[in-house]
Each structure stands twice: as structure tokens, then as C-alpha cells.
Amino acid sequence: MAHVKSGGATRQHAQRSGKRLGVKIYGGEEIKTGQIIVRQRGAGVHPGINTDKGRDFTVYATAPGNVKYRKLNGVKYVDVITK
């Protein structure tokens, strides 16, 4: 019999910190130009009006205003409605 417990899957890899993904600005909140709205892996939320997508799929504002989320044909979009 072994005298040392075997190393399972959780013991074999180094612990890594989380990547802080997710929604940063929710619907109805005010936003400035350049502020990040959603950090994500893959295009779960698509850019809409007055928003753009970074190369890591981050959606950010291109104009100041209020954030609005909408769904069109099953695809989620985020818009920035200017004042």
C-alpha cells in the first residue's frame, strides 16, 4: 500500500486568479466614451449602436450616454443611447 496519498487533478495544476470577466455596466447606467461595458470570451454580447468590439471581444462605448441591452433574433446586443 502507498503511504503517500495520490495527487488528484486539483493538486496537479497551479492555482490561477480569475480573469474578472462579465458585465461591467448594466442597463440604464450612464457611461463615458471608451468605458468597458462587457468583458467576455467569445461574442456572447454583440456591439450595437455607439459601441465597438475589441480584439479580445470586449465591448466598449464609442460615445457617452446610457447603456441599453436588447435581443434581436436570439442575438444579444448592447447599445449606448446618447442624450
Span 4-35, pLDDT tens digits = 766 666 666 778 899 999 999 999 999 999 99
CATH 2.40.50.100 fits 28-81, yes or no: yes
Span 41-67, pLDDT tens digits = 999 999 999 999 999 999 999 999 999
- Residue in the block written with cell 486539483: 10
pTM equals 0.82
Q: Which residues contact 56 (CB under 8 A, 6 or more apart)?
A: none
- Residue in the block written with cell 457617452: 64
Q: Nearest Cα to 69, choosing from 53, 58, 81?
A: 81
In the chain, alpha helices (H): 9-12
